[in-house]
């Protein structure tokens, strides 16, 4: 195991680049200088412990702005923003001819905390081992930020002139409040203008299965996040004299009924496209069921079987609600005076949150359990699968990842793209980094990035940006 001390040990750099060059198809498109630049920016960024809500997020934004400033970007094209309740971020504009509306290129530079005691290495020091880079943020999402900044510098050096502005947006609190992106589509809208669409490094990407490239997913939709608080109260009293009216018992009974709540199957353009394309890579009954649910109307029996096969398929097919937290009572020897459960719902983009709330109340079947929203939901209409976007995405994937099927995807989670879609800006997640979902370490212990995959993504994003701006 070795620290990738890029700035001080050149022989380590050479070894790292050889690893990348030996595993990346089309690596000849990247010069040694470009590869080294990318590695330096990546290490510099990863080594900053930019946990959401800490001053280090601002330091990360300023560091990347400094890189671009050194490369010749004028101050008017580098806008640092945020502070206080808004995560510090950076908007960098690469000027084109203006023949077409701008395109946003997105990443976030904040990360979740890391428990150093649980890691095999220092989580905020980039470490190389066996063809992998280990550290917090290596995959979520500092690889994306480093790739975008590297390509900006490469284009500047080459004198590239696109037919539209390419606006890189690096947000500072995606992992918590997303106040950064909400400010940009609200009071700070003049920084991004009126883009035609956005491409997001923090969603979609390549799916590995058994070490083989299976799918290249394009995130064009995501579920709506909504948390409900279920609350009930009781008279309390001494635990030595139990009463039939117990707040914990009542809430537990309601939650038991909620386990059986199944929302109806509903597909949109994105999820239908996913099952249609994924069926081509499956065999037997799973492939048949995927085709059946992609039909109009979807086959409910097939949906039931797919839901049993995979929690992911179940989440794509319907709205889901699940209890995630409990709080009750005030003493071991006292009857509870109150009990509260947190229920987190991920709602299909076309489904009404009001209908979901009514379904929960109906299922609880107890008027003494009150249901309220923790905060208002934010709508996230699916982004249309337009040829002028999907065409370049698919063509570029064929160049960098030949033979891999491109599939539209609806995220079961949420990203900054949620707020852009809500503001009328279509978003397409194309991380371009292949990972095995069974070994997803983002937010977890020993987060890592395959070195060769990083350089593949660097090349993909260079070609894709040029394709949408030629």
pLDDT of residue 346: 96
Which one, of 267, 323, 254, lies nearest residue 293 by Cα? 267
Model pLDDT, residue 174: 96
Decide: residue 306, CB within 10 A, 0-12 exposed, 13-18 middle, 19+ buried: buried
Pairing between β-strand 205-209 and β-strand 212-222 as defined by DSSP bridges: antiparallel
101-142 pLDDT tens trace: 999 999 999 999 999 999 999 999 999 999 999 999 999 999
The architecture CATH gives domain 223-373:
2-Layer Sandwich (3.30)
Strands (E), 338-403: 338-347, 370-373
* CATH number, domain 2-221+380-468: 3.40.630.10
Does 21 score more than 60 pLDDT?
no
Residues 6+ apart with CB under 8 A from 420: 104, 181, 185, 198, 426, 427
Residue 29 — very low, low, confident or very high, per pLDDT cuts 50/70/90? low
Residue 92 above 60 pLDDT?
Answer: yes
pLDDT, residue 25, reads: 55
pLDDT reading at 5 higher than 60: no
- What digits encode the pLDDT tens for the residues 254-289? 999 999 999 999 999 999 999 999 999 888 999 999
Q: Which residue has the higher pLDDT, 404 or 379?
A: 404
How high is the pLDDT of residue 384? 95
When pLDDT is averaged across residues 294-299 and rounded to a whole number, the result is 95
- What is the pLDDT confidence band of residue 379, given thresholds at 50, 70 and 90? confident
Pairing assessment for the beta strands 197-200 and 103-108 based on DSSP bridges: parallel
pLDDT above 60 (res 152): yes
Q: Where is pLDDT greater, at 22 or 170?
A: 170
pTM of the entire predicted model: 0.88
Surface-to-core class of residue 258, CB atoms within 10 Å of its CB (0-12 exposed, 13-18 middle, 19+ buried): buried
Q: What value does the mean pLDDT of the chain take?
A: 92
409-449 pLDDT, tens digit each: 999 888 999 999 999 999 999 999 999 988 889 999 999 99
pLDDT confidence of residue 281:
87
- The mean per-residue pLDDT over the stretch 16-30 comes to 50
> Terminus-to-terminus CA distance in the chain, angstroms?
43
Q: Note the pLDDT of residue 108.
A: 98
Summarize the confidence of residues 153-174 as an average pLDDT: 97
| Residues 202-218: tens digit of each pLDDT | 999 999 988 899 999 99
Give the per-residue pLDDT at 437: 87
CB atoms within 10 A of CB 120: 11
Q: Which H or E element spans position 279? A: helix 269-279
Write out 290-354 in H/E/C secondary structure.
HHHHHCCCCCHHHHHHHHHHCHHHHHHHCCEEEEEEEEECCCCCEECCEEEEEEEEEECCCCCHH
User: Rounded to an integer, what distance in angstroms lies between the CA atom of residue 270 and that of residue 316?
Assistant: 10
Domain ranges of the chain: 2-221+380-468, 223-373
Above 80 in pLDDT, residue 15? no
As a whole number of angstroms, the distance between CA 121 and CA 132 comes to 13
Task: Determine the pLDDT at residue 413.
Answer: 82
| Residue 28 pLDDT greater than 90, yes or no | no
- Asked whether residue 13 carries a pLDDT value surpassing 60, the answer given is no
């Amino acid at each position: 195991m070795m620290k990738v001390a890029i700035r001080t040990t050149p022989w380590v750099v050479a070894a790292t680049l050889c690893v990348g060059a030996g595993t990346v198809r089309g690596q000849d498109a990247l010069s040694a200088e470009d590869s080294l630049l990318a590695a330096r920016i990546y290490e510099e960024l990863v080594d900053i412990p930019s946990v959401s809500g800490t001053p280090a997020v601002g330091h990360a934004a300023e560091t990347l702005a400094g890189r671009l400033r050194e490369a010749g970007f004028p101050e008017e094209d580098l806008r640092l923003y945020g502070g206080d309740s808004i995560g510090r971020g950076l908007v960098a504009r690469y000027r084109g001819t203006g023949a077409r509306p701008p395109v946003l290129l997105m990443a976030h530079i904040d990360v979740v905390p890391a428990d150093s005691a649980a890691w095999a290495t220092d989580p905020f020091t980039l470490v190389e081992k066996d063809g992998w880079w280990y550290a917090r943020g290596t995959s979520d999402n500092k690889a994306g930020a480093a790739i975008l900044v590297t390509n900006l510098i490469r284009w500047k050096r080459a004198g590239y002139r696109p037919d539209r502005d390419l606006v890189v947006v690096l947000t500072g609190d995606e992992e918590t409040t997303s106040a950064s992106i909400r400010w940009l589509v609200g009071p700070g809208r003049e920084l991004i203008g009126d883009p035609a669409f956005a491409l997001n490094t923090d969603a979609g990407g390549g799916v590995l299965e058994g070490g083989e490239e299976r799918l290249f997913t394009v995130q064009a939709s995501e579920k709506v996040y909504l948390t409900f608080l279920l609350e009930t109260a009781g008279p309390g009293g001494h635990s030595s004299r139990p009463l039939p009216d117990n707040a914990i018992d009542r809430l537990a009974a309601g939650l038991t009924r909620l386990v059986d709540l199944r929302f109806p199957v509903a597909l949109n353009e994105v999820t239908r496209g996913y099952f249609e394309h994924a069926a081509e890579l499956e065999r037997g009954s799973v492939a048949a069921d995927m085709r059946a649910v992609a039909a109009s109307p979807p086959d409910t029996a097939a949906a039931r079987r797919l839901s049993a096969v995979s929690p992911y398929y179940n989440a794509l097919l319907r709205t889901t609600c699940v209890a995630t937290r409990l709080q009750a009572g005030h003493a071991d020897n006292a009857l509870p005076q109150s009990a509260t459960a947190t229920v987190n719902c991920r709602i299909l983009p076309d489904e009404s949150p009001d209908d979901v709330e009514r379904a929960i109340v109906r299922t609880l079947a107890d008027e003494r359990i009150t249901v309220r929203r923790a905060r208002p939901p934010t709508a996230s209409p699916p982004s249309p699968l337009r040829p002028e976007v999907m065409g370049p995405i698919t063509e570029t994937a064929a160049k960098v990842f030949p033979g891999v099927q491109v599939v539209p995807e609806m995220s079961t989670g949420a990203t900054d793209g949620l707020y852009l879609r809500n503001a009328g800006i279509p978003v397409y997640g194309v991380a371009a980094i292949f990972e095995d979902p069974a070994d997803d370490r983002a937010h977890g212990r020993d987060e890592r990035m395959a070195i060769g995959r990083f350089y593949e993504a660097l090349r993909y994003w260079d070609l894709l940006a040029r394709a949408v701006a030629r």
